[in-house]
Amino acid sequence: MTRTDAPRPHARELLDRLEGYYDAVPRNAARAEDFGALTLFVRAGAGWPYYARPTLGATTVDAAAVDRVRARQRELGVPENFEWVAETTPALRAAVERSGLVVHEHPLMALDAGAGAEVEVDPPSNAEPGMRVLADGTIVRVLDADDPILPSALAVPHIAFAAPGTAIGPQGPTELAEATRALVADGSVANTTARIRAGLTVVAAAIDKAGVVLCAGQHQPLAELGVSEVVGVGTLPAARRRGLGLAVTAALVGDARARGVSTVFLAAGDDDVARIYARLGFSALATALIAEPEEPTG
């Protein structure tokens, strides 16, 4: 069950701003196919596949529209995924469930300067401007497009999300090297490099003394709206439970603030992860929903 049926009155303006962001950001790397109340974003080139979501301003969506989009997704060979905010488009949940999809809930959290929320980020170390050095010597910093560790930083979240949860796992440098080679080969690294140069993506990473990336994530600023989403923060399973995700998120928020972003938001994996982000000042705003086909059993 979703947490609320409608947004609090003071959150309405912020949710409307996020809807504008959700509609605009995929257009930088995907084409938009119009299905009336739904829009299907289809990625151009390598990278995470996009999804379908409510067309900006749409409030009523039926199962027939969902079925039409799913048919098109199967035709294109892309995942049959839908993403939306429960409180903004409440009718979509029933429609996707009638279509046979499974819905997953994620706390949607925001850090809005207009609401007085601030993030306390440790001062940069004196080693290099913008760099933070943790107690164990791990360095947290924002990467530029030519940074040699960028490919590894892009690979870490893939490994992390393939082994979900917060438990320490066996995946470490060996798996990271394999994943890095795959992302270089399929063009994902080149695609993100271009986005960094264009100011569309910012990547931050935590790097140990041996130069191994232990945790990484991104934010996607949209200057015209003053909004950015923190996405894909993941820790190498062998390096979990060391506060690295929190440190990388703080670095991303600090960079977003330096770029003049007033609203930073994210979708937490679950309530336990949400409590971690709350330590940085993020607060629950609404419920992000993701619908996808049920995984076969057996």
Residues in the chain, total = 298
Percentage above 70 pLDDT, the chain = 89
Provide the mean pLDDT of the chain. Answer: 90
Do 70 and 97 contact (CB within 8 A), yes or no? Answer: no
Close Cβ partners of 295 (under 8 Å, ≥ 6 residues apart): none
Which domain does 58 fall in, by range? 9-109
Statement: residue 118 has pLDDT above 50: no
State pLDDT tens for residues 278-296.
999 999 999 999 999 987 6
The set of long-range contacts for 170-176, using a CB threshold of 8 Å and a minimum separation of 24, is 170/237, 170/238, 171/236, 171/237, 171/238, 172/236, 172/237, 172/238, 172/239, 173/212, 176/152, 176/212, 176/213, 176/236
Number of domains comprising the chain: 2
Strands (E), 28-152: 30-35, 38-43, 52-54, 82-85, 101-112, 132-133, 139-143
Last residue of a domain, one of 74, 109, 144: 109
- The three-point CA angle 219-220-223 to 5° equals 125
Last residue of a domain, one of 49, 83, 109: 109
3-state SS, residue 179: helix
Q: Are residues 150 and 99 in the same domain?
A: no
Q: Are residues 242 and 271 in the same domain?
A: yes
CATH number for the domain harbouring residue 81 = 3.40.630.30
Q: Which residues are paired to 207 by β-bridges?
A: 139, 213
| 258 lies in some domain | yes
pTM: predicted TM-score of the whole model, two decimal places: 0.89
The pair of structure tokens assigned to 82 is 């839908």
CA–chain centroid gap for 19, Å, is 15
Q: Are residues 258 and 277 in the same domain?
A: yes
Last residue of a domain, one of 84, 109, 134: 109
State pLDDT tens for residues 213-264.
999 999 999 999 999 999 999 999 999 999 999 999 999 999 999 999 999 9
| 296 lies in some domain | no
